[in-house]
Structure 1
């Protein structure tokens, strides 16, 4: 049996069929002069896997998360080409819930046997985002307005990507851009972690909210010891403190420390999101529109979380499309926070003709139809490392430089 999936938000796409005529998959890459270090790996290049769905003259574009490992984009291209595209061509794009259920029914059983449900959900995320972008364009309305009739025009954002190196410099950059909250990367050993937190706090001062992300670096015992240090420096939440991210372990850490915890970027099924959101250990639930099931999942999670006293804080470590989708969902669901990486990322700042930029700790929700972004095709072409296009007759064009 397939994983059960909701039929999508109630403020759904416009009435009338939108037959899918063509699907395109593009992978863009921007090498980094200084790799970004996490506790588990380094990121040597920014990458974005774009999923484009055409119905008539309208094209919806989504993004599928392919940050790790470095070869993840190759897996995603194969999954989309061989597993997803045949299920999309000729289908009605206005039936987002039905299409999601179809993809889940066919692909998630394979994901379980493959041991890779995450990549399957990441592929579905890119499709779901593209379908909602297409729906907004068909309705000539911004996505946030399609999801919720009168959403706010901007949403609160915090600066992430600070540490383990350049802590002072990146914290200063965040403050100069008007952020009122910053998040540091930790999980590099107790002594260095403490130094990272101290450095960020010294620059930020006491009036700036400080969060920390361990990327599942610790055992329960290590997490308990580190959370005591974090509390001493006024850290307001610790994200993914425990290896494996098991809910029982998070509840143990919270019970022994009182530290508010955040998680969600590596949670995939509706049932698991419900369990984590309902736990008193999880103060902030963090779905990712490009990773954990798309716009539909993020909105459903955000709408359900307040019943448990849990706040929505959208995870986002993506390019311009992922950021825009997170902003629209945050506006529709009343999110407490949206993550915005403070480091340089050409796929976030240069991919769209006009990219969303923060001001005074808030991010404007794009006002154009759908996601509200127009791709700068010349810049996109210069970053493309793979491109393939299919119509109903099959593979139409493939270009892998």
Structure 2
């Protein structure tokens, strides 16, 4: 069914489900360990059409409970009965209602993560109503080319353990770039970088992610070390991620830097884009404002000549949305975690598929994927729905 563009899409129902997959071996990062994969999925129905989106809930372990509450009490009253087509108006209403609370709470991030899931679901619904892939819907109408059918990906999630195994697995799958997790002390970090390089060979690009592990002096010292070991860029080297600190590190070391997964609002992204310190900007479709913000950042990055490399450390929906945005806006890279993640490989039909260093962009309407209900059933830890009266 194609819904004429002039017809409204009244929101009849909102559903939120949380899926969980415990990990036999927790994933260690510089600030915490991830013991379970989780996905908070937002579903927005209008008539026979349902859009699906994902809200990032990796940390802390109880983040999904906050997200469900924010969506139920903050977002659902705005959504029910509203016209799903008017994504801009709904975002304005959501931000006007929720961001002042986020500021007082001292936690604007969770608010934006909730909005991200809603925004992604609305765009998926819009694509389904138009019977067009999301990438085609997002592409500039006067653009010279059709959206890409596949986008370049780099392998992330490598380190601090299983470095050789994961690097070799990534290279065998055709990845041409790897990103290692660091921030565990200089000796350990250097060992991680060396092990990844030895396993991957000289023809594979190497990036590093410190997850804001260092003070400015530590970042200066470590970025110089990483540069000498052939690391092409370092992600989030400084605690707090302040632009002035990143610029100091870059000026002292010459190391190109990457950031964006913890940057919120287009205005904030624009300040990072304007800096010579930031080589790659990394919005996250499930975290930093959804498809709308990621697309705007991608277009702004092109205008500034900055690399656009969407961050993704969530499930199948976040990765699929990132692929569509990257295809529409053009991207240097999209992040793809190569560690085992059932919520990436089993949650949707089709699952995201990467080969030869590229991720296929689904060609179906909207995101082009559906929830695999049979597999999802055993992963469900929360489910709630609300309907318009």
Fold in common (TM above 0.5): yes
Match of 1:60 in 2: 51
For residues 139 and 233 of structure 1, the distance between their equivalents in structure 2, rounded to whole angstroms, comes to 49
Cα shift at 1:308: 1.8
When residues 235 and 14 of structure 1 are mapped into structure 2, their CA distance, relative to the original with a 3 A threshold, is: farther
Give the structure 2 partner of residue 330 of structure 1: 326
Task: Name 1:33's counterpart in structure 2.
Answer: 24
> Cα distance, 1:15 vs. partner?
3.6
Question: Which runs of 5 or more structure 1 residues have no equivalent in the other structure?
Answer: 1-12, 394-401
1:308 corresponds to: 304
Match of 1:398 in 2: none
* Partners of 1:64 and 1:122 within 8 A in 2: yes
* Superposition TM-score, scaled by structure 1 size: 0.94
Indicate yes or no: 2:245 matched with 1:249.
Answer: yes
Separation in 1, partners of 2:381, 2:159: 29
Matches within 5 A, 1:153-232: 153-232=149-228
Matches within 5 A, 1:84-99: 84-99=75-90
Structure-2 change in CA distance of 1:15 and 1:276 (3 Å): farther
Cross-structure match for 1:126: 117
CA shift for structure 1 position 89 = 0.1
CA–CA separation in structure 2 for the residues paired with 1:60 and 1:354: 16
**1:5 equivalent in structure 2:** none
What 5-or-longer segments of structure 2 have no aligned partner? Answer: none
| Other-structure match for 1:234 | 230
Pair 1:287 & 2:278 matched: no
SS at match of 1:380: helix
Corresponding residue number in structure 1 for 2:370: 374
Match of 1:340 in 2: 336
Residues 146-199 of structure 1: CA deviation (Å, up to 9, x unaligned): 111620100000000000000000001101111000000000001000000000
State the secondary structure of the residue aligned to 2:326. Answer: helix
Secondary structure of 2:94 counterpart: helix
> Structure 1 residue 307: deviation in Å?
2.1
Please state if 1:50 is matched with 2:41. Answer: yes
Question: What secondary structure, in the 3-state scheme, does the structure 2 residue paired with 1:35 have?
Answer: strand
Give the Cα–Cα distance (whole angstroms) in 2 for the partners of residues 98 and 220 of structure 1.
41
**Partner residue, 1:259:** 255
Match of 1:236, SS state, is coil
Q: Is the 8 A contact 1:60 1:133 kept in 2?
A: yes
1:242-298 per-residue CA deviation (whole Å, 9 max, x = no partner) reads 000000000000000000000000000121111011111000000000000000000
1:48, 1:64 within 8 Å by CA — same for their partners in 2?
yes
Count of residue pairs the alignment pairs up? 381
Distance (whole Å) between structure 2 residues aligned to residue 128 and residue 195 of structure 1: 41
Let me know the Cα RMSD of the aligned residues.
Answer: 0.9
Distance 1:49 1:356 in 2: 18
The equivalent of 2:65 in structure 1 is 74
After TM superposition, the structure 1 stretch with the greater mean CA deviation from structure 2, 335-344 or 299-308, is 299-308
Q: Partner of 1:30: helix, strand, or coil?
A: strand
- Please state whether the residue corresponding to 2:223 is helix, strand or coil: helix
Please state how far the C-alpha of 1:117 moved relative to its aligned partner: 0.3
- Alpha carbons 1:126, 1:290 under 8 Å: kept: yes
Matched residues in 2 for 1:355 and 1:380: separation?
A: 13
Alignment deviations for residues 26-68 of structure 1 (CA, whole Å, 9 cap, x no partner): 0000000000000000000000000000000000000000000
Q: Which runs of 4+ in 1 moved over 4 A?
A: none
> C-alpha separation between the residues in 2 aligned to 1:14 and 1:196?
53
CA distance in 2, matches of 1:298, 1:366: 18
Q: TM-score, normalised by structure 2?
A: 0.97
Report the counterpart of residue 15 of structure 2 in structure 1.
24
State how far apart, in whole Å, the 2-side matches of 1:84 and 1:26 are.
15
Alpha-carbon distance in 1 for matches of 2:367, 2:123: 8
**What is the CA–CA distance in structure 2 between the aligned matches of 1:232 and 1:126, rounded to whole Å?**
40
Partner of 1:152: 148
